[in-house]
Chains A and B, each alone.
Chain A
Amino acid sequence: GLCVTRCPRQVVDHYENPRNVGSLDRNAKNVGTGLVGAPACGDVMKLQVEVDENGKIVDARFKTFGCGSAIASSSLATEWVKGKTVDEALKIKNTDIAKELCLPPVKLHCSMLAEDAIKAALADYKLKQDPGREESAKA
């Protein structure tokens, strides 16, 4: 494939040296928490974002129950959301994650779940800013 020199190590690298493992205070108003997946499917991701008063994501953390590709996808997701605004982060696509990590077809669902996790975290954050508004976060 195209990413032969870089890619084989990508997933392993994120696995051995994951970025941003941990938790933020889910009760803080400027923290959004997304929990997606199901233990019965072998994939659960928790992704959290901390957003400043300008709407920029200043910190992100993740925890994942899943295979190496799932761990790498969520680890990469936390790297990518940092420094973006909420609206910019909503544009992150699973296909970009899969491409960056050179995920094989059988692992594409891991990148999809990571995209879901980002969206769920941001939806949670938005809901906290304006609780009156109906959010169809889980559409």
Chain B
Amino acid sequence: AGVPQDPRVLDSMLPYLTAYYGNPHSRTHAYGWESEAAMEKARRQVADLIGADSREIIFTSGATESNNMAIKGVARFYKSRKKHIITTQTEHKCVLDSCRSLEGEGFQVTYLPVKRNGLIDLKELEAALQPDTSLVSVMTVNNEIGVKQPVHDIGEICRAHKVFFHTDAAQAIGKIPMDVNNMKIDLMSISGHKIYGPKGVGAIYVRRRPRVRLEPLQSGGGQERGLRSGTVPTPLAVGLGAACEVAQQEMEYDHKRISQLAERLVTKIMSEVPDVVMNGDREHRYPGCINLSFAYVEGESLLMALKDVALSSGSACTSASLEPSYVLRAIGTDEDLAHSSIRFGIGRFTTEEEVDYTVQKCIQHVKRLREMSPLWEMVQDGIDLKSIKWTQH
């Protein structure tokens, strides 16, 4: 689902899309200096949001690139002595895919399972650590089910074992307080468009003390301390910085408002419709990402009714393999319930009217689709669906 850009962010970017078009890396003229100053201000704004030093912030094209950099970059730098990486089964595809590609290079990867509530077991993490582990990568907030991992505890464990801790914080920063020192985070991926900033920009936090080294993915003119060559897109960086600053100001108010709206949505739906399951821990979560399974109703068919609301489904009718979401599978959701899941996103610009509209449509269409569902009919007739021998095509 897309997220709108905050108008304050757009305002901050406009001068750099029009009048101030200098290359921020050009040291020799005033146009360059203006752009450079703007870029450095943005860097500080990003750093301030996470309690980092601005020298530790590198601009990238987005969290996907940042994740690639963190995982491949650290693994490859330390590969002469360390060949093992730990991550989880519920990470974003770009993390999982980066790990898979490293396996192809001869690295060993442990994909930690998660409990039914979506959280990792800290004892399992500790047990998985090996003397040759270079990196642990665990996302802070999951993009499908909204659960929040115990990053503070993970940081403690990793620091004690002298293993670098990377977290994909794309869904977390600007929404919940993050502090790289309190949480003992060594690398962090940041996404611009997830915090109402522009698309096409993100950042990676790379700790200086103790120093984290990484092999750059992108070779070139040596920009961004040699870690990420390429001209930094000043307007986008400015937008990311502004988005971070705005998020810092709005965080508390947004969190309270979004929590109320989320509570409203879930309570209203669950009070009107039976057989609805919330996926992921009820407590350790970010409230703005809600994943519900509506038993006996297929997710995509429900989405058709809600097409003017920004939602997505855990069903995979459009995927070639007909396999539902791997995140839902990892938390042990029955396959038919996984096909019946919908993710609701509530954000800074979501209104109460939109929530009520979504709720009303959702209730109306779940009821309608259940009337059309052979599964609902069988359950009403007292048939145990698990006792049926289903055909396969």
A residues whose Cβ falls under 8 Å from a Cβ of B = 12, 15, 18, 21, 23, 35-46, 63-71, 106-107, 109-110, 112-113, 116, 120, 138
Q: Could you tell me if A106 and B320 are in contact, using CB atoms closer than 8 angstroms?
A: yes
Q: A15 to chain B: closest CB distance in Å?
A: 6
Question: CB-CB < 8 A to B334: which residues of A?
Answer: 40
Question: CB-CB < 8 A to B296: which residues of A?
Answer: 65
| A71 nearest in chain B by CB position | B301
Taking a contact as CB atoms closer than 8 A, the residue among B304, B320, B324, B392 that contacts A15 in the complex is: B304
Q: A90 to chain B: closest CB distance in Å?
A: 17
Complex Cα distance A136/B376, Å? Answer: 28
Taking a contact as CB atoms closer than 8 A, the residue among B316, B373, B376 that contacts A42 in the complex is: B316
Q: Could you tell me if B372 and A38 are in contact, using CB atoms closer than 8 angstroms?
A: no
Q: Could you tell me if B322 and A41 are in contact, using CB atoms closer than 8 angstroms?
A: yes
Question: CB-CB < 8 A to B372: which residues of A?
Answer: 18, 21, 63-64, 71
Question: CB-CB < 8 A to A36: which residues of B?
Answer: 391, 393
Q: Could you tell me if A37 and B324 are in contact, using CB atoms closer than 8 angstroms?
A: no
Q: A70 to chain B: closest CB distance in Å?
A: 7
Q: Could you tell me if B317 and A65 are in contact, using CB atoms closer than 8 angstroms?
A: no
Q: Could you tell me if A39 and B391 are in contact, using CB atoms closer than 8 angstroms?
A: no
Taking a contact as CB atoms closer than 8 A, the residue among B300, B336, B373, B374 that contacts A67 in the complex is: B300
| A75 nearest in chain B by CB position | B372
Interface residues on B, range: 20 to 34
Q: Mark B308-345, 1 if CB is under 8 A from A, else 0.
A: 00000001111110101000000000111001000000
Best-surrounded residue of A12, A41, A71, A120 (most CB of chain B within 10 A)? A41
Q: Could you tell me if B373 and A107 are in contact, using CB atoms closer than 8 angstroms?
A: no
Q: B376 to chain A: closest CB distance in Å?
A: 8
Q: Could you tell me if A109 and B322 are in contact, using CB atoms closer than 8 angstroms?
A: yes
Q: Could you tell me if B373 and A39 are in contact, using CB atoms closer than 8 angstroms?
A: no
Q: Mark B60-71, 1 if CB is under 8 A from A, else 0.
A: 000000000000
A67-B298 contact in complex given A44-B390, A138-B391, C-beta closer than 8 Å: yes
Is B377 located at the chain interface by the 8 A CB criterion?
A: yes
Is B121 located at the chain interface by the 8 A CB criterion?
A: no
Q: Could you tell me if A65 and B391 are in contact, using CB atoms closer than 8 angstroms?
A: no
Q: A80 to chain B: closest CB distance in Å?
A: 18
Question: CB-CB < 8 A to A38: which residues of B?
Answer: 390-392
Complex Cα distance A71/B385, Å? Answer: 20
A-B CB contacts (within 8 Å), total count: 101
Q: B360 to chain A: closest CB distance in Å?
A: 17
Question: CB-CB < 8 A to A21: which residues of B?
Answer: 371-372
Complex Cα distance A40/B317, Å? Answer: 11
Complex Cα distance A27/B236, Å? Answer: 67
Q: Could you tell me if B339 and A70 are in contact, using CB atoms closer than 8 angstroms?
A: no
Best-surrounded residue of B300, B315, B318, B372 (most CB of chain A within 10 A)? B372
Question: CB-CB < 8 A to A43: which residues of B?
Answer: 298, 317, 322
Q: Could you tell me if B391 and A42 are in contact, using CB atoms closer than 8 angstroms?
A: no
Q: B369 to chain A: closest CB distance in Å?
A: 8
Q: Could you tell me if B335 and A70 are in contact, using CB atoms closer than 8 angstroms?
A: no
Question: CB-CB < 8 A to A71: which residues of B?
Answer: 301, 372
Taking a contact as CB atoms closer than 8 A, the residue among A65, A69, A112 that contacts B374 in the complex is: A65
Q: Could you tell me if A63 and B377 are in contact, using CB atoms closer than 8 angstroms?
A: yes
Is B297 located at the chain interface by the 8 A CB criterion?
A: yes
Q: A72 to chain B: closest CB distance in Å?
A: 10
Q: Could you tell me if A112 and B300 are in contact, using CB atoms closer than 8 angstroms?
A: no
Question: CB-CB < 8 A to B385: which residues of A?
Answer: 39
Q: B296 to chain A: closest CB distance in Å?
A: 6
| B391 nearest in chain A by CB position | A36
Question: CB-CB < 8 A to A18: which residues of B?
Answer: 372
| A110 nearest in chain B by CB position | B317
Question: CB-CB < 8 A to B355: which residues of A?
Answer: none
Taking a contact as CB atoms closer than 8 A, the residue among B318, B374, B376 that contacts A45 in the complex is: B374
Is B375 located at the chain interface by the 8 A CB criterion?
A: yes
Best-surrounded residue of A18, A23, A69, A110 (most CB of chain B within 10 A)? A69
Q: Could you tell me if A66 and B390 are in contact, using CB atoms closer than 8 angstroms?
A: no
| B385 nearest in chain A by CB position | A39
Complex Cα distance A36/B393, Å? Answer: 8
Complex Cα distance A37/B378, Å? Answer: 14
Q: Could you tell me if B390 and A40 are in contact, using CB atoms closer than 8 angstroms?
A: yes
Other than the known A42-B324, A68-B301, what 10 A-B pairs have Cβ atoms closer than 8 Å?
A15-B304, A38-B391, A40-B336, A40-B390, A43-B298, A45-B374, A65-B376, A71-B301, A106-B318, A116-B391
Q: Could you tell me if A40 and B335 are in contact, using CB atoms closer than 8 angstroms?
A: yes
Q: Mark B354-382, 1 if CB is under 8 A from A, else 0.
A: 00000000000000000111111100000
Q: Could you tell me if A44 and B374 are in contact, using CB atoms closer than 8 angstroms?
A: yes
**Can you report 17 A-B residue pairs in the complex whose CB atoms are below 8 A from each other?**
A21-B372, A35-B391, A37-B390, A37-B392, A39-B385, A40-B339, A41-B393, A43-B298, A43-B322, A44-B374, A45-B374, A63-B372, A65-B373, A65-B375, A66-B298, A106-B319, A113-B393
